[in-house]
Each structure stands twice: as C-alpha cells, then as structure tokens.
Amino acid sequence: METPDLNLLLTLDVLLTEGSVARAAERLRLSPSAMSRALARLRETTGDPLLVRAGRGLVPTPRAIELRERVSQLRQEAEGVLRPVEHLQLSQLNRIFTLRTREGFAENFGPALIAKVAEQAPGVRLAFVQKTNKDSTALRDGSVDLETGVIGNEMGPEVRAQALFRDRFVGVVRAGHDLTQGEISVARYCTGKHVGISRRGFDHGLVDDALNPLGMTREVVTSVDAFSTALAFARGSDLIATVPEKHTGNLRTGMNSFALPFAMPAITISLFWHPRLDADPAHRWLRGLVREICAGDLLQTPANS
C-alpha cells in the first residue's frame, strides 16, 4: 500500500475551510490550476469527491463534513510537533530525571537542587544513582539524564560536557589526630598512614604523582573505592584521607581538614548529557538549575575544625 502524501492534509484543511478552489489557491499561494490538480489527488487518495458542484459554488460531501474537524485537528497537532517550544510550563511539568553522580555530590548539592525543583516544578522528581564508572552507556541509552564527574577517556565522543566547578584536594583526619597540632609538612603528611581511593585497588594515584617529584612517598595501608568510605575510615582511626574539598563538604562534618603541604593540580567537575537532549526545554531548565547551584570556582582555604 502506497504511503499517502501527508502534505495533502494542509491542502485538504484549507479546501474544506474555504469551500472554494479559488480562495484555497489564493490562501496557499497556488495557481487555480495547481489547486484543481491537488483536489483531484485528494479525491483519488480518499476515494471521495469531497467537494461537488452546486450551482456556481462547491458543497462538501458527507465524507468531507465528517473529515473537516479531524483534518483541522491533525494539522494543528502536526504543526505543534514541528514548532519549537516557546515556553515551558514548569508548574504543569510531570517528569522524573535521573542523575548519576559520585558520592558526595548528592549529599552536598542534592538538598538545594531538590528545593529549587520543588519550588519551580512541583511535579518533577529527581532520582540520584551512584556513579561506579565513567562509561557513557547510561547517557546513550537514556537510563540516565544527567551525570557529573571528571572528563575521562571512557566518555563517549558525542557526550556534551560543561564545567560546573573546580575542586582541590585536602587532607582529612579525625578530631584529636596528631596532625591537628602544629605545622603540617610534607614529611609529617607522608609519615602518617593513609587510606587510598581507587576503583582498581592499590593503584598509583594523583596524590602519589604529586609527591614523586619531591622524592616522597606515602604509606597506603588500605584502599577503598569511595570518598565516603575513605572518610569513614579516617573518622574512626588515625588514617589520613585525601579527598576533593568541595565535593565532600558535608561528608567531612566534624573532622579536621587541612591544606596539602605540596602542590597538587585542581580537578574540574563537569556536567554531562547526551546531545539528543540538547534542545529539550525541561532538560535545559534542569541543567541550568544544576549550574546555578554549583556556580563558582573559587575555593575557600579549608578551615581546621
């Protein structure tokens, strides 16, 4: 069966509205002969005369009267599909967005984001899921709407990225730890026992890369794959954890944080999404809220507490 020419919907709608080939031709900026040919095609496609001669004018057939309202509605719906959304009605938006983040992000920025969403779009709900790798499959297949983290080689080349904030690493120990007293030198930092953070066990990490040029090494006695676990170990022992400052703000409550006594490059936390959602108004709105809450890349000197 041959697929109908959907362009004929507009022609049929105008013909049924005007009830005149001449007026329909003028409205569509066609010649009367071109409009007559279009009417002939419509008659062939629908299997009905649609408009028939009555005196000097044309009158619709019962089939045409039946189609008039449906065709008009279909045309309006088609135009709505193809027309850019001019204004997003946040108060009427009902949608669930899934955000994939490393631990710390939801704890630090989640409450403010949830409050903003509830204020502007009460029908929207946010689902936070743990980020266990940098693979972009979840963004590609649509199971995740937004993701945060550091750009890595595993990220698909099509994925969109926008920087949210810069973060620096700080040392963290329990209250009452020896490092809470006196100046913290590189030697004192390296003399202590450390909890390493790596998804691949006892890997050489960013901290070790920064210590190497100084001819220093640290003793990593245990390794974990999450900031929260590293901080829990440090909170309950004499281990030293080295974590991103801004990313772990709420997780470090009640602990002592200190500036590292050696130079270590900052990291940039970015927002990721799939390009198919670039123009989606609701998704653009949510991206704007995340950027607003995470705005600013100036980090305060960590306070000893």
Average pLDDT over residues 66-92: 76
pLDDT of residue 189 exceeding 60: yes
Query: Does 222 score more than 50 pLDDT?
Result: yes
| Backbone torsions φ then ψ of 207, nearest 5 degrees | -65, -45
The pLDDT value given to residue 24: 87
Token match 């099509």: residue?
A: 158
> Is the per-residue pLDDT at 52 higher than 80?
yes
Question: How far apart (Å, rounded) are the C-alpha atoms in residues 62 and 246?
Answer: 71
Does residue 134 contact residue 152 with C-beta atoms inside 8 Å? yes
Interaxial angle between packed helices 8-18 and 32-46, expressed in degrees from 0 to 180 and rounded to the nearest 10: 110
Residue-wise pLDDT for 206-221, tens only, equals 999 999 999 999 999 9
What domains appear along the chain, each with residue ranges and CATH number? 8-82 (1.10.10.10), 90-167+268-293 (3.40.190.10), 169-265 (3.40.190.10)
Query: Do the Cβ atoms of 212 and 233 come closer than 8 Å?
Result: no
Flag whether the pTM goes above 0.85: no
Predicted confidence (pLDDT) per residue in 93-129, tens digit: 999 999 999 888 998 899 999 999 999 999 999 999 9
pLDDT reported for residue 299? 39
Residue pair 20/61 in contact (Cβ under 8 Å)? The answer is no
Determine the pLDDT at residue 157.
Answer: 80
The per-residue pLDDT of the chain, averaged, comes to: 87
* Range ranked top by mean pLDDT from 43-57, 74-88, 280-294: 280-294
- Higher-confidence residue of 300 and 51: namely 51
SS3 (DSSP) at 153: coil
Q: What is the largest CA-CA distance in the chain?
A: 106
Query: What does the pLDDT average to over 225-242?
Result: 95
How would DSSP label each residue in 168-195? -EEEEE-TT-GGGSS---HHHHHHSEEE
